[in-house]
Amino acid sequence: MERGLVVGAFGVLLVGLLWAANSFAGAYGTGRAEAESQVLSRRPEVVLFTEEALPSTPAGVTHADLGQGVEPRHEYRGLRLLLQSDDRLFLVPAQWTDESSTFVVPYDDKIRLRLLAPR
């Protein structure tokens, strides 16, 4: 009986610690995102060229179809480079809100990009 109480108390303690760590991580991530959104204008502006159209274009991002025979065919403006990791680019709209999407674009020979100095 005593052993069961000790195991039960340990289980409750472990669940509580995991819940607290999860709550802290969520609050920390939200705070970092809010801070990053305030200085997003310091990040390089990206003009993205892709062979295929992206599934959706968020508010503030413009898309131009450059026409048949032009490779890459699609141009997107109004994006900022959030970060680059391995062979992926993480792009966000220049006018980012907490409801904006992050584009994860594979950095391969199917895309081109032009980085513009922050204005």
Cα distance between residue 98 and residue 43, in whole Å: 18
Q: Say if residue 83's pLDDT is above 80.
A: yes
Tell whether pTM > 0.75. no
pLDDT by residue (tens digit) across 27-58?
887 777 777 777 777 888 999 998 888 888 87
Of 21 and 39, which is predicted with more confidence? Answer: 21
Q: What are the backbone angles phi and psi of residue 86, rounded to the nearest 5°?
A: 50, -115
Q: Where are the domains of the chain?
A: 1-38, 43-116
Predicted confidence at residue 113, as pLDDT, reads 86
